[in-house]
Structure 1
Amino acid sequence: MKGRSIAAGVLAIVVLGGVAACSIAYRSAIDPIEPPAAAAFDAGSIARGAQLAAVGDCISCHTSAGGKSYAGGAPLETPFGTLYSTNITPDPDTGIGRWSLVAFTRAMREGVSRDGHLLYPAFPYPHFTRMSDADIKDVYAYMMTRTPVKAPARDNALTFPLGFRPLIAGWNLLYLHPGPATEDASHNAEWLRGRYLVEGPGHCAACHTPMNTLGAEESGKPFAGGSIDGWDVPPLNALGHRQPAWTADQLTSYLRTGLASQHGAAAGPMEPVTRQLALVSENDVRAMAVYLLSLDGQPAGAAPPAPAAQAANPAQPAAQAVAQAQPPAQGDAQRLQRGGALFNSTCAACHAASAPMTSIGGRPSLAASSVVNADSPRNAINLVLQGIPLRGSAASHYMPSFAHTLNDQQVADILAYTRVQIAQRPAWASLDDSVAKVRKENTSK
C-alpha cells in the first residue's frame, strides 16, 4: 500500500510537471482586433515611441536590404542557423495590424506572439521586459502608425530540432527574468535614466556580452564584449581605462554622430545604431554614456579586461585574433616599406596628418583609432574590405570598400604599416592569415 502511494505521488508530480511545462510552452492566443486608425493614437505618444524605437534600433533588424521599413525579412546568422525578422508594420494580414496593446505588451515582456507561439530570443524580450507600461504603449503607438506593408514571414532555417518552438520555454525558464530593474537610490536621475535605456529598450548587452552555448548572455560577464556578423564587439565595462580614456562628451558624440575625435568612426554593426541614436534626444544619449562609463569599476591605472570577443566567436581562434607582443623593431622591414608606399598612394589623401579630412572638423587620427589600437586586427580588416557605405543624401561618414582593389598581401601591408608606424603599437601576429580568413568569411555572406 505504501509503495502504491509513493508511485501515485510520483505519477501526480510527473503529470503536474507536464501540465506546467505545457502551460509554459503553449500559450493561448489573444483575440485579434480591428486595425485601429492612425488618428486614434496621440501624437505625443507616437513621438515618444519613435525615440524609443530609435534607441532600440528596431529598424535595422526588421528591415531587409532594399526592403520596406519594418517589413522584416532580414537574415540573422546564428550558431543554430538562420533566423529571419518578422513584419512589424500594421499590415492586418502579415504584420501586427490586428494586435492589441495587450498582445504587443506580452510579446515585449514575455516573448509570446499574439497567436500564442513563442518568439526566439534573438528578439531581445529579455531586455524589453524591463520597459515600463507607458513606454511599451508609446512604442506600440509608433509601430501602429507606420505604413502597412504586406510581407509574409520567411521560413527560418534552423538546425533540427530547434525549429520546434516549444523548446524555447526551457530557455525562458533559465534566462528570462521578467520585471523592471531593481531600484537604486544611490545614483542620480541621469544615471538611472541611462541604465534604463541601456538595459531596457537599448538592449546593449545583447551584443556587448559573450554568449553561452545556448545563445544566452553569459552569467557574470555583462558588457564584456562579444562578436556579431564577423566583427569584434568591444567590451563596455572598461571604457574609462582605454587609451585614451573615453569621456562622457566623447561617448555621447560617438553614439549620436558615429564619430569621436579621440577614438574613431563607427563601422560594421555599430554604424546603423549610431544613425538611429542621432534621432534620440542628446540628454538621453548622454545619460546612456554616463551609465556605460560607470560600468568601469576598476581602480585607476588598472589594465582593462581582456576582450571576450575572441572567445565568443568559435570561428575566430584566439591564437590568430589576439596580438602577440612583438616590438616594432622586429617587424618585417620590407612589409612596412611596402605598406608605407601603399598607404601614401591609397589612404593618405584622407588619413594623412595634413589631409583636410583629418585636420578639419575634429575628425579622428588613425593613431588614436580604436580599430588600429585593438588587440585583434579583425575589425581593421573588415573596415578595409567592407568600408563604410554612403547613406543616400543623409550626412554621414564614408569610407570606400577596398575588397576589389587590394589583394590580401596589400591589405596586410597597409594595416601593418598603420599599426606599427602610425599607431606605434606592436605588430599584429599572423596578419596574412587573418586577412585571408576574414575575406573568406565576407565572401561567403
Structure 2
Amino acid sequence: MMSLFRLGVGAAIASAASLGAVIAWPIGLPPPQLSELEGDVDRGAYLARASGCIACHSDFKQGGVPLAGGVELETPFGALYSPNLTTDPKEGIGDWTVEDFALAVRQGVSPEGSPYYPAFPYPFYINFTDQEIVDLWAAFQTVPANDTPSRPPEMMFPFDQRWGMKLWRAAFLEPPRTDPVAEKDAVWNRGRQLVEGAAHCAACHTGRNLAGARKSDTEHFLGNANLPGGDKAPAIDVVTLRERGWTVESLAYAMRSGIMPDGDVFGGGMGEVVSYGTGFLTDADRTAIATYLMDDHDGG
C-alpha cells in the first residue's frame, strides 16, 4: 500500500512538474531591432486594409470607433473580443514598441510573452517582411487614441488557460503558403501572397477540426459551415467558383463592389471584407487575387 502511495505521489509530482514546465515554456523568437527602419504610412495603411484589421477591430455595429476593438467572436470554446489597437497607452498599444508589434503580428505572442488565441490570424502574417511590419506600425501610430477597454476573453475551462495555446501551437501551427512558385507569373504569385497571407482567406473558407485548427491538407478553400456566430463561408476552390459562374473579371469586380455574378450582393462577414478591406485595394491586386483563386492549383 505504501508503495502504491509513493507511486501516486511521484506521478502527481511529475505531472505538476510537467505542467509547470509548459506554463514556463517560453515561446516566440526575439524580434529583430526595427527602430532604425523608416515606415511608410500609406503602405502600412494599405496592408492593414488588405489584412482585415479595420473589419475585425472596429465595432461599428455598436457605435464603436475604428480600431478600438470590441467585436465579439463566438467560438465553440467561448467568446473572444477583438482588442483595442489605437494609440491609447493603457487600453490600446500606445506603450508598445515596434518590436512588441512585430512579435505580436508575426508570432502571435504578447509583449509579456503570452500566446494569443489563434482567432488572431497571425499564422497568415508570419512571412511579413521587416519593412512591412514597420510600415504597418507607422500607420497604426496615426490612429487617434481611444480609451475603450479591451474586453477579456470569456472562454470555457480549460480553454481559458492561455498557456494551453502553447500546446496548440506545437501541434497545429503551420506556415503560410506565400512563397512564390517559379513556374507561375508575377500576377499569380502576387495573388498567392495576398490570398494565403495578408487577406487570410483560408481562415474562414477552410474547415476546422475539433481543436479549432484548419484542415489545410483536406479542406483548403472548401468552405466552412460552422463559422463563429453561426455564419457560413462558401467554398472558393476553383472548381466550385467555375461551377457557380465566376470568372477572373467578375470575382475582381465583386471584391470592389460586393456584387456577385447573379446580381445579388455579399452579406455578413464578406460584405464587411469588401467594405473595409478589398474595396480599398488596387485593381491590380484584386485581379491578382482573382487570378490565383480561379487557377487550377491545390493551394500548396
TM-score by length of structure 2 reads 0.83
CA offset at residue 265 of structure 1?
A: 1.1
- Report which stretch shifted further, 171-180 or 229-238: 171-180
State whether structure 2 residue 90 is matched by structure 1 residue 93.
yes
* C-alpha displacement of 1:19: 8.2
- Tell me the equivalent position of 1:367: none
Change (3 A) 1:29 1:271: same
Percentage of pairs with the same residue: 35
Q: Distance in 2 between matches of 1:58 and 1:216?
A: 21
- Structure 1: stretches of 5+ with no match in the other structure: 1-12, 31-35, 298-445
2:43 paired residue number: 48
- Within-5 A mapping of 1:137-286: 137-178=134-175, 181-220=178-217, 221-227=219-225, 228=227, 229-237=229-237, 238-244=239-245, 246-262=246-262, 264-275=264-275, 276-286=277-287
Q: 1:381-392 alignment to 2 at 5 Å?
A: none
Partner residue of 1:59? 54
Q: Kindly report which structure 2 residues correspond to 1:123-134, keeping only aligned pairs within 5 A, or say none.
A: 123-134=120-131
| Structure-2 change in CA distance of 1:294 and 1:179 (3 Å) | closer
- 2: CA distance between counterparts of 1:98 and 1:242? 50
Structure 1: distance between partners of 2:296 and 2:116: 30
Asked if the contact 2:88/2:146 (under 8 Å) is kept, the reply is yes
Give me the whole-angstrom Cα distance separating, in 2, the residues matched to 1:186 and 1:23: 45
Question: 1:126–1:177: 8 Å Cα contact kept in structure 2?
Answer: yes
Please list the CA deviations of residues 144-182 of structure 1 after superposition, one character each: whole Å capped at 9, or x if unmatched.
211111122212211112111100001111122357734
CA distance in 1 between partners of 2:253 and 2:129 (Å):
27
CA-based RMSD: 2.8
Mean alpha-carbon deviation: is it higher for 184-193 or for 234-243? 234-243
Letter in 2 for 1:204: C
CA distances 1:269-301 after superposition (whole Å, capped 9, x unpaired): 11011112111111111111111112566xxxx
Give the letter for the 1:226 counterpart.
N
Cα contact 2:44–2:139 (8 A) shared by 1: yes
- Give distance in 1, aligned partners of 2:67 and 2:195: 22
Asked if the contact 2:68–2:86 (Cα under 8 Å) also holds between the matched residues in 1, the reply is yes
Post-superposition CA distance 1:16-67 (Å, at most 9, x none) = 977874554567999xxxxx9xxx965xx11111111111221121112211
Deviation at 1:14, TM superposition (A): 9.7
CA displacement, residues 104-145 of structure 1 (integer Å, 9 cap, x when unaligned): 111111110112221110000111113222222211111121
**Equivalences for residues 311-326 of structure 1 within 5 A:** none
SS in 1 for 2:232: strand
Query: Structure 1: how far apart are the matches of 2:75 and 2:205?
Result: 15
Superposed CA offset, 1:298-343 (max 9, x none): xxxxxxxxxxxxxxxxxxxxxxxxxxxxxxxxxxxxxxxxxxxxxx
Instruction: Name the residue aligned to 1:84.
Output: 81
Q: Give the TM-score, by structure 1 length.
A: 0.57
**Alignment length, in residue pairs?**
274
**Aligned with 1:105 (options 102, 106, 109):** 102
- 2:149 corresponds to which letter in structure 1? P
Q: Rg larger in 1 or in 2?
A: 1
Distance across 2 between alignment mates of 1:155 and 1:28 = 25
Helix, strand or coil for the counterpart of 1:260? Answer: coil
- Alpha-carbon deviation of 1:186? 1.0
Q: Distance in 2 between matches of 1:21 and 1:282?
A: 47
Could you say what secondary structure the match of 1:165 adopts?
A: coil
Q: Which residue of 1 aligns with 2:68?
A: 71
Instruction: Find the aligned partners of 2:222 and 2:168 in 1 and give their Cα distance.
Output: 22
User: Given that residues 91 and 150 in structure 1 are in contact (C-alpha distance below 8 angstroms), is that contact kept between their aligned partners in structure 2?
Assistant: yes
- For 1:283 and 1:97, locate their aligned partners in 2 and report how far apart those are by CA, in whole Å: 34
Partner of 2:6: none
Structure of higher RCO (CA pairs closer than 8 Å, 6+ residues apart): 2
CA separation of 1:250 and 1:113: change in aligned 2, threshold 3 A: same
What is the alpha-carbon distance in structure 2 between the residues aligned to residue 296 and residue 265 of structure 1? 27
Specify whether residues 208 and 289 from structure 1 end up closer, same or farther in structure 2 by C-alpha distance, changes over 3 A only.
Answer: same
| Contact preservation (8 Å) 1:71, 1:87 | yes
What's the CA shift string for 1:214-246, capped at 9, x where partnerless? Answer: 1111142111101333332111112443142x1
**Distance of 1:263 and 1:162 partners within structure 2:** 42
Tell me the distance in 1 between the aligned counterparts of 2:130 and 2:215: 28
Shift of 1:183: 3.9
